[in-house]
Structure 1
């Protein structure tokens, strides 16, 4: 009997050790762009179109919970990590609501979440692109929620069409009036492009507020926060100053690259210069990235071209930008974060994280099958 018990305990222990070894073998020590990336529970990380926030040695990754389609059925997930390789699922930071009258009811669209911290209010503020249920992408709104902790739960406050009743700072006075004969109705003609550049859609949406689709937020060194979003039927980027509590818009805003068709903006700063990486406008299909720089967030912004280099650079390595992550503890170390979308099965979208390099003070992104944070030590 004792021998049987000992044998049983031996095999239980052996199984436990084997299980521990298997678990430990799944810990990551490098980035492998495009591979399935699992959390510490062994589940594919579900945080698409995401953004990161860092506090007290911990990174928090917020992203869209995707299922088979692009609609929100769960909400916005949050993960945490101390090393950027291994991620713990913390839960749902902002859940869809059961109330069918809620703007964030199940079946709405909640995309590109970004979290910033307001030192004055002590609140964590979450902004995201919101489309209302059963309205396709016609609502073009941005939603905001707050929490007392970085992991939430966040409380939804409201959504906006930004800057209602406010003209952009870089808008000519003569553009505020509809020209004689009205604006052209047929798209893509020379007359239409001229009208677009001269604020046709800005005038159209002046009272209701401007469209806001792909978006990001950025806090400058002086604590001022900015909301960067694709607007004017996705033809033009807008950069808007947020109120001191980061929950609304001051009415100070600018247009960037009118008619340039920039989506997926991601902003960062290096040595006093601001950089922005965006994508073109091709739906779920990849395209060449674009990059820009400016001495002020409110511009003017200078186009630099495609930062990607090498094979598949013309498709940004089959991905689309979502965030630029400054690596803590390393000088001028930035990670280009992007999504490789899978519209036929959204949950299987993959993450493309690549180090940003520099050529003549311009950002450069090159493919790496596998890389580590020590990459930045050689720069």
Structure 2
């Protein structure tokens, strides 16, 4: 029997009350907001990868916690549409001791099915809590949705691979590869449990969270700069052979967009009967609230003569997993101005703010200030203006009987000013509810050696509510 950490048990218990009201029936991929699984809990699968097995997609990622970065287990979710996720299990829990025992680091789990053995092999970064003892580890399972058994570290010529950020790639011929930061690529053995040969060495500097994928005979290698949990402009290389030469191509999202506020983690080919959509998967980290506020940025890549771009931020979009086609998805509903006193109630020091770029919102940085919206319907969301002084807020939805049906955390921080969807509830039973947003007096913050990253203040923002029936 797997003993779940206490905070996981808490969320599982909370989901019992949530499940009475929440229907897991979203219609689109919404980037930059919390997602909820079939039990009403937040999906927690960061640094993730996806593998398709049969007619289901399996998402493996880091089950994060708030406050620290110690290993809390790797989660597994499954879906047929890449929108609505079923919690399968903690695929690899914290071990009693060793490299993934208490007070250790475990990151970026990726799973491949080994063609020669039929086993599912999971790879991950293992480390001590100070990131001073990196090594690539691996675990195995006979079932895609089973518990994985940690097997130890992956070796090359009898030695560990002393790298932290890593990824995997499986080519059309079934050969598996391990990718690490700084541009290193290793070919795995037939059983995927060791390294045969290193085929690319120190191709570039940095290039954290490395990803390789292939389209029309051309290989793409993407990675991010070294900015700790802060977002940056990710970049990519291309080659016609995995051994190189690799040609630097620059950024693939508009410069200064910070890859739409994300760090790459995987690219999933969604192969359909009509076309293949290549889905960029990124993390929008929210240290120190990596469990409750970190979100996901999943976007369809655009190709043009071997170049890749994410030219526009697709806030909401759909992909047909049968045909492989994707389309934008316009959110519909009744828009409510947060300053409309017929709908909202304010407590504290909320103020209307309009900046030089023309963005206008209602915001506060005073801990404990609340903004409440009473509504009737089946879904509620809101947009915010994110700025370099944004912080964390708590969202709580209560039904007419005073039962809390949903609690989550939102973040309204960005190094540049932008307005986007920051919260969208799952489907609710049609009824009367109150949404309350509370300023937490906390912010995104990270100290890396002599560099400080993050927000300058604790402002929480709302520019528009959206109510659906």
Deviation at 1:79, TM superposition (A): 0.2
| 1:73–1:216 CA distance, 2 compared to 1 (3 A) | closer
CA contact (8 A) 1:50 1:64 kept: yes
Alpha-carbon distance in structure 1 between the residues aligned to 2:68 and 2:184: 24
Residue 228, structure 1, aligned to residue 173, structure 2: no
Matches within 5 A, 1:129-208: 129-132=125-128, 134=129, 136-160=130-154, 162-164=155-157, 208=159
2:209 to 243, 260, 264: 264
1:332 to 265, 272, 276: 276
Residue of structure 2 equivalent to 1:254: 200
Residue of structure 2 equivalent to 1:217: 168
**Structure with the higher fraction of residues in helix conformation:** 1
| 1:105–1:378 CA distance, 2 compared to 1 (3 A) | closer
Alpha-carbon distance in structure 1 between the residues aligned to 2:109 and 2:68: 14
Deviation at 1:74, TM superposition (A): 2.9
CA displacement 1:308-350 (0-9 Å, x = unmatched): 037x52x111110000011131523110000000112111210
Deviation at 1:72, TM superposition (A): 3.8
| 1:141–1:344 CA distance, 2 compared to 1 (3 A) | same
Deviation at 1:256, TM superposition (A): 4.3
| 1:343–1:274 CA distance, 2 compared to 1 (3 A) | same
Residue 53, structure 1, aligned to residue 51, structure 2: yes
| Structure 2 unaligned spans of 5+ | 1-17, 329-469
Matches within 5 A, 1:304-315: 304-309=249-254, 312-313=256-257, 315=258
CA contact (8 A) 1:280 1:289 kept: yes
Alpha-carbon distance in structure 2 between the residues aligned to 1:367 and 1:246: 37
2:107 to 107, 111, 121: 111
TM-score by length of 1: 0.76
Alpha-carbon distance in structure 1 between the residues aligned to 2:249 and 2:78: 34
Alignment: residue pair count: 305
CA contact (8 A) 1:94 1:152 kept: no
Residue of structure 2 equivalent to 1:9: none
Alpha-carbon distance in structure 2 between the residues aligned to 1:247 and 1:302: 30
Matched position secondary structure for 1:316: helix
TM-score by length of 2: 0.62
CA contact (8 A) 2:19 2:40 kept: no
Deviation at 1:57, TM superposition (A): 0.5
RMSD of aligned residue pairs (Cα, Å): 2.1
CA contact (8 A) 2:207 2:222 kept: no
Alpha-carbon distance in structure 1 between the residues aligned to 2:207 and 2:270: 26
Residue of structure 1 equivalent to 2:302: 357
Residue of structure 2 equivalent to 1:27: 25
1:85 to 76, 83, 86: 83
Deviation at 1:71, TM superposition (A): 3.0
Residue 71, structure 1, aligned to residue 20, structure 2: no
| Structure 1 unaligned spans of 5+ | 1-18, 166-207, 231-235
Matched position secondary structure for 2:211: strand
**Structure with the higher fraction of residues in strand conformation:** 2
Residue of structure 1 equivalent to 2:448: none
Matches within 5 A, 1:338-377: 338-347=282-291, 348-365=293-310, 366-373=312-319, 376=325
- Structure 1 ranges of 4+ moved more than 2 A: 19-24, 69-74, 162-165, 208-211, 374-379
